[in-house]
A and B are shown apart, each in its own frame.
Chain A
Amino acid sequence: MKKENSEKQLTGNSQNRRGMERRDFFKLVGGGIVIFFLPKCKSETVPVEEPGKRTLPKDYNAFLKIDEDGTISCMTGKIEMGQGINMSLIQIIADDLDVPMERIKMVMGDTELCPWDGGTWGSLTIRAFAPNMRKAAAEAKGVLFELAAGKLKVPVNQLVAVDGVISDSKDPSKSVTYAELARGKKIDRYLEVKPEVEDYTKFTFIGKSFKRNDSKIKVTGEAKYTGDMKLPGMVFARIVRPESLSGKLVSVDYSEAEKISGTTVVRDGDLVGVLNENYFLAGKALEKVKAEYSYDEIPVNNENIFDSMLKADSTADVETSAGDLDAGFKECAKVVETEIHDPFIAHAFIETHAALANFEKGKLTVWASSQTPYPLQDSLAERFSMPLNKVRVIVPFVGGGFGGKSKNQQAIEAARLAKVSGKPVMVIWTREEEFMYDNFHTAGVLKIKAGIDKNGLVKAWDYHAYFCGTRGAEIVYDIPNHKVTSHDSKADSPRVHILDTGPWRAPNNNTNTLGRELQIDQLAAAARMDPVEFRFKNLKDQRMIDVLKAAVELFGYVPAKRYPSGRGIGVALGTDVGTNVAEIAEVEVDEKTGKVKVVRIVCAQDMGLCVNPHGSTMQMEGCLTMALGYTFTEEIHFEGGEIKDRNYDSYELPRFSWLPKIETVILDRKDQPPHGGGEPAIIAVGAVICNAIFDATGKRLYQMPFTPERVLEALKKA
């Protein structure tokens, strides 16, 4: 990313609500050729249009710039948090513009330099954003060809482009570089028509594997994250917090805290910040603050939350239905009913939320670890009654997000404290604050009733999801009579989830994939069929059949004569953000301790066109590894608003010794549009391990995570 250069150009330029005026724009970025473009689909990019919030600009939301020195820059509000999009986007531009990858710079997540973007989530970057970026590249190439035709006096159709040079195919001595064509130009184009995008067979970079382009600065400590920023006069803030989420500040005495050298304490309503140029001393001073809170009695905890969800007055929205359930169940020879419990889990990225806020000359600048720089800009402008062009948000490298860095509470806190103190304020949440103020993966209950006929065909499927949404609850199998119902809070009833909830890598899909695949497995057992063969028998979706075949082949799966077979091998399928996955895993269960070791996990993924197979493979490995946490250990223990797990001492993340042998395959689907890659492989891991434990022991677990205690409990059951 070429932030250092771009930042120099920033002196008092402004950006209006819809983006920059043309005049301001060129003042900001200098000359060159600029193509503005829109994302593919409004509904995909802006999931919720809240009243009073900005909607997607009608004119453009990203741009591609060909500089006078031949540098190609792509400005986008997307951010890099480890998923590697700064590489895959470069590959795409390189291909469509016929330029070497080294000449392309991504400028990301800066509200002053980049046009509006809803946020980096939902594995949207490649599937929704990239197709339009490709069209912009094609448009840019069109402009360059027109200019070259004029300059070389050669018809456009006789020109060819290689490595940023356009030449006459009949007389290669006639040539001109992109840099020469851009020099002295101020050309802007708004992409409206849809130019032809090149055929995939002509790709040079797309579809090939490239390593990360940010490793070197990340292994040397040079890469800057929000907490690494420093401004003259900056102070660290430690914030006075209650013991429980329900705490309301009654009184606070910070006279002793201010005796710690260099400390000032500032207050903005209920927000009390202990400020010191030294983070350690700010923490020491915080210990001296005497604060009294009042707490509400909330009779909900991690044990009774599931009952309280089922008892709550909830909606019953039918999301999908087909056929006639009653008639379907009448055809069934066997019916299985299941209830599954899934707890709250934390995002637990290693970088805690951080933000640096600075008010200077009537302008607010905030650096923040955030997946949503523009919504943060909106919130700041609203809170401080400032125009948007006086609020700038910059997102440096983000140390993990997974959906959990979208609410920006820490940035609002930093800005409030900066406002009252008149100093640049850095907030870096402690791990304890991180666990307290996380917006957790939603706890939920699933109730599923389904049946098979005497031939082992699933005939009826009645699926209910309580307070966890239905992402991932697609039927997938060919089931003639089915219904999926979502039960959620009624508009005027009190919130059932007392903890804050939000997106967690493939939000809710882990829960719903576990539900479907566990239930399908129980039906396979009821049919006395091998679980892979049972799935093939009940599938009609060719893409799903293909991805299961690929997993079977990679694993070398041999159907068992009986199920459970005792081999400890499980299978599960899933679908998320347009991508399908099939996973097969082998486990060993220690029946004395209840510990489960995953020996091997295989994942086949159909994600349509894969831009960077190496990058996607890393995302798959990351998903499969991260998923071991929600499968075996991760669960937030709480009592009312008091979060009991406040650090990694009791909240256990996956460790090196847990690693199974991981094998992945990405199906070759170059002819298909690209789908999401950051999340899908995580969704089926809980299910595949649940099914493998059943295959090993004949016992089934219905509550996540599969702790040794729960495994032992299941083993005791008859």
Chain B
Amino acid sequence: MEETITFQVNGKQVELKIDPTQTLLWVLRNNLGLTGTKFGCGIGFCGSCTVLIDNEAVRSCSVTVGEMKGKNIVTIEGLGKDGELHPVQKAFIEHDALQCGFCTPGMVMNAAGLLIKNPSVTREEIIAGMEDNLCRCGAHVRIIDAVEAAAKEMKGGK
């Protein structure tokens, strides 16, 4: 049964008449054309589909659009503000924290969520917080370095 569901995506109000059991991942990619959010495993084990829902990093393959009523979603396309990249995005570029780039949007969104939750994150906490995002190319060391640098940057270099 279709329902009308209203939520925010990247600061814009979205209203969809849709089967509420559809997964958020495919609604973002299919209905909203936001293909930066990637499909990797479909069971919440790789993290490449991670988005922010009310400032929390969530795997969009494992939630339904029906659960999104009234929620505020940010995808990789909407992470930067006013034409400026988010500190995590900048740090990924600065540290070359990627190779093929396919897991990257999920890594960036997960890191952004981690830093909202814990702005004073330690390196050990970064490792634990990123643990369930998979990267096959082996960019791990640089990803940790990038997230650490972004955390520092967001705290005003302290």
Measured CB to CB, the residues of A under 8 A from B are: 81-84, 211-212, 214-216, 218-225, 227-228, 230, 277-281, 348-352, 397-402, 428, 430-431, 614, 618, 621-626, 647-649, 653-657, 659, 662
Contacts and interface: CB of A to CB of B under 8 A. Distances in A.
B137 A400 contact: yes
Contact of A279 (B29, B46, B101, B102): B29
A224 B140 contact: no
A583 B137 CA distance: 19
Contacts of B133: 656
A220 B85 contact: yes
Given A221-B35, A279-B26, A653 B101 contact: no
Nearest to A648: B45
A85 to B, nearest CB: 11
B101 A218 contact: yes
A401 B100 CA distance: 9
A626 B103 CA distance: 14
Contacts of B22: 278, 280-281
A392 B35 CA distance: 24
Interface string B25-50: 01101110111111111110110100
A232 to B, nearest CB: 13
A621 B19 CA distance: 45
A349 B127 contact: no
Contacts of A280: 19, 22-23, 26-27, 30
Interface of chain B, helix or strand or loop or mixed? loop
Contacts, number: 172
B25 to A, nearest CB: 9
Interface centre among B37, B39, B102 (most CB of A within 10 A): B102
B43 A351 contact: no
Contacts of B98: 82, 212, 215, 218-219
Contacts of A625: 138-141
18 contacts: A219-B76, A219-B92, A219-B105, A225-B102, A230-B33, A278-B26, A280-B30, A281-B19, A348-B136, A350-B48, A397-B101, A401-B100, A625-B138, A626-B137, A647-B43, A648-B45, A656-B131, A662-B141
A216 B93 contact: yes
Nearest to A624: B138
B144 A279 contact: no
B127 A430 contact: no
Nearest to A216: B93
Contacts of A218: 98, 101, 104
A430 B46 CA distance: 13
Contacts of B141: 621, 625, 659, 662
A657 B140 CA distance: 10
A659 B26 contact: no
A399 B96 contact: no
A622 B98 CA distance: 10
A220 B101 contact: no
Contact of A622 (B26, B76, B101, B138): B138
Contacts of B131: 655-657
B138 A349 contact: no
B128 A349 contact: no
* Chain B: interface size category: 35 or more
Output the residue of B29, B128, B143, B144 with the most chain A CB within 10 A: B29
Contacts of B104: 218-219
Nearest to B124: A657
A623 B138 contact: yes
A647 B30 contact: no
A227 B79 CA distance: 22
Contacts of B41: 431, 647-648
Contact of A228 (B27, B35, B75, B127): B35
- Closest 6 pairs (CB-CB, A-B): A221-B36, A399-B102, A82-B100, A625-B138, A218-B101, A82-B99
Contact of B136 (A220, A349, A431, A614): A349
Interface of B: 19, 22-23, 26-27, 29-31, 33-43, 45-46, 48, 75-77, 79-80, 85, 89, 92-93, 96, 98-105, 108, 127-128, 130-144
What does DSSP make chain A's interface, helix, strand, loop or mixed?
A: loop
A568 to B, nearest CB: 21
Given A219-B89, A224-B35, A656-B131, A430 B138 contact: no
B11 to A, nearest CB: 15
A656 B140 contact: yes
A653 B136 contact: yes
Contacts of B48: 350
A662 B132 CA distance: 21
B138 A621 contact: yes
Nearest to A655: B131
Contacts of B30: 277-280
A241 to B, nearest CB: 15
Contacts of B43: 431, 647-649
Contacts of A281: 19, 22
Given A82-B101, A215-B93, A278-B26, A220 B134 contact: no
A349 B46 CA distance: 11
B85 A654 contact: no
A622 B137 contact: yes
B14 to A, nearest CB: 16
A654 B133 CA distance: 10
Nearest to B129: A656
Given A221-B76, A399-B100, A350 B85 contact: no
A653 B45 CA distance: 11
Contacts of B132: 655
Contacts of A224: 35
Contact of B139 (A402, A614, A618, A655): A618
A349 B85 contact: no
A647 B142 CA distance: 26
A625 B141 CA distance: 9
A230 B29 CA distance: 10
Contacts of B144: 656, 659
Nearest to A620: B138
B108 to A, nearest CB: 6
Contacts of A277: 30
A82 B35 contact: no
Contacts of B105: 219, 221
A444 B76 CA distance: 43
Contacts of A399: 38, 100-103
B20 to A, nearest CB: 12
A397 B103 CA distance: 13
A653 B134 CA distance: 7
A275 to B, nearest CB: 14
Nearest to B34: A221
Contacts of B135: 350
B128 A220 contact: no
A221 B96 contact: no
B127 A659 contact: yes
Contacts of B38: 225, 227, 350-351, 399
A428 B26 CA distance: 12
Given A280-B26, A350-B103, A655-B134, 16 more contacts: A215-B92, A219-B92, A220-B80, A220-B85, A281-B19, A281-B22, A350-B38, A350-B134, A400-B100, A618-B142, A621-B138, A622-B137, A648-B46, A656-B144, A657-B131, A659-B127
Given A350-B103, A625-B138, A431 B42 contact: yes
B39 A352 contact: yes
A395 to B, nearest CB: 13
Contacts of B85: 216, 219-220
Given A349-B102, A648-B45, A657-B128, A220 B36 contact: yes
Contacts of A624: 138
Contacts of B102: 225, 349-351, 399-400
